[in-house]
Amino acid sequence: MSKIFTRTFRTRWAELDPSGTVSPSNYLRYVVETAWDWGVAIGWDADYSRNPDVFWLIREAEIRFLRPLRHNDVFDLTIWLVSWQKVRGTRCFELTRKDNGEVIAQGTQQIVCVDAKTGRPMNPPNDVNESLRIENPRIFPFERFPKVAAAERPSVTQRQVEWMDLDSYDHVNNVTYINYAEEALAQEFSAQGWSPLRLAEAGMSAVAKRVHIQYLSVAEWAETLKISTHMLSTHATGGARYFGIARADGALVAECIIDWELVDRASAEARSLPADLH
């Protein structure tokens, strides 16, 4: 039984964004795929999380991007459990290049065990913690999602949930919310005169350096979601931006913070922000 599980991936063309690098949401897709395979490896088949009694939900995820992934890169993703307290657990993951071990990204997820009949958090089966517990696990720095004060004049866009946004549970896939946030970021840049086309013509890209997201409820097909965003901070080459994703009545579905940086498309080196992006 493997308490630290590794899976190897090769990046595919369809996983790249217009900058030619793997988009942030796909990193978390890799994590989910690895977690499923890990379950199978320790004796939980693919239907384990949909059994009549219990399933697991991701409540929070944070990932830091250290190096870009490009087409046909081969890398390992390793995942392990850090701790479990009552109904909530913490697991860490790391992506490294297969050829030289260079670290590509690192992150942490908070997961919750849920009673499938009531929808309420519950203690997991007795054998779960012991089957995954390791002594002195590596731990990456992690803080719970911060309370973000409402902005006076946030930028607001709307999005109707489409069928392709859903997963096999008939609600919006966790990683899709990151796509929503990235689109809102692109729209905000465009409103400031820096559309994706203009950035490309200038040989630049706005890339995510860190994504922190928490999930508060689920969204379903045909719902209209309001995505509000405002800047939290800026520095010479980038900044941090908050995204609140809510239903029409204002109830939050997810919150996300993206730390981003402006980089040269060819060299991936940081570029100074134009005055109108501060």
Question: What CATH number has the domain bearing residue 86?
Answer: 3.10.129.10
* pLDDT for position 47: 55
Whether 8 and 114 share a structural domain: yes
114 and 33 together in one domain: yes
125 and 202 together in one domain: no
Residues 168, 67 share a domain: no
237 and 160: one domain?
Answer: yes
Predicted local distance difference test score (pLDDT) of residue 45 = 56
Look at residue 128 in the predicted model and tell me its pLDDT.
66
Judged by DSSP in three states, 137 sits in coil
Residues 208, 259, single domain; the answer is yes
Residue 157 lies in domain: 145-278
End residue of a domain, out of 144, 172, 187: 144
**Which of 144, 175, 197 is the last residue in one of the domains?**
144
Of 91, 111, 144, which marks where a domain is finished? 144
Are 130 and 7 found together in one domain? yes
What residue type is assigned to position 217 of the chain? S
Q: Is 97 exposed, middle or buried (0-12, 13-18, 19+ CB in 10 A)?
A: middle
Distance CA 205, CA 227 (A): 22
The pLDDT value given to residue 119 = 75
What is the pLDDT at residue 135?
A: 82
88 with 161, same domain: the answer is no
Q: Are residues 21 and 137 in the same domain?
A: yes
Claim to verify: residue 137 and residue 56 sit in the same structural domain: yes
Does one domain contain both 163 and 47? Answer: no
Q: Per residue of the chain (278 residues), what is the pLDDT tens digit?
A: 578 999 999 999 999 998 899 999 999 999 999 998 887 777 665 555 445 566 778 999 999 999 999 999 999 999 999 988 888 889 999 999 999 999 999 999 999 888 777 778 888 766 666 677 788 899 998 889 999 998 988 999 999 999 999 998 889 999 999 999 999 999 999 999 999 999 999 999 999 999 999 999 999 999 999 999 999 999 999 999 999 999 989 999 999 999 999 999 989 899 999 988 76
* Best CA proximity match to 260, nearest among 171, 186, 163: 186
The answer to whether residues 104 and 229 belong to one domain is no
Give this prediction's pTM.
Answer: 0.93
- How many domains is the chain built from? 2
Q: Which residues are CB-contacts of 129 (< 8 A; sequence separation ≥ 6)?
A: 84
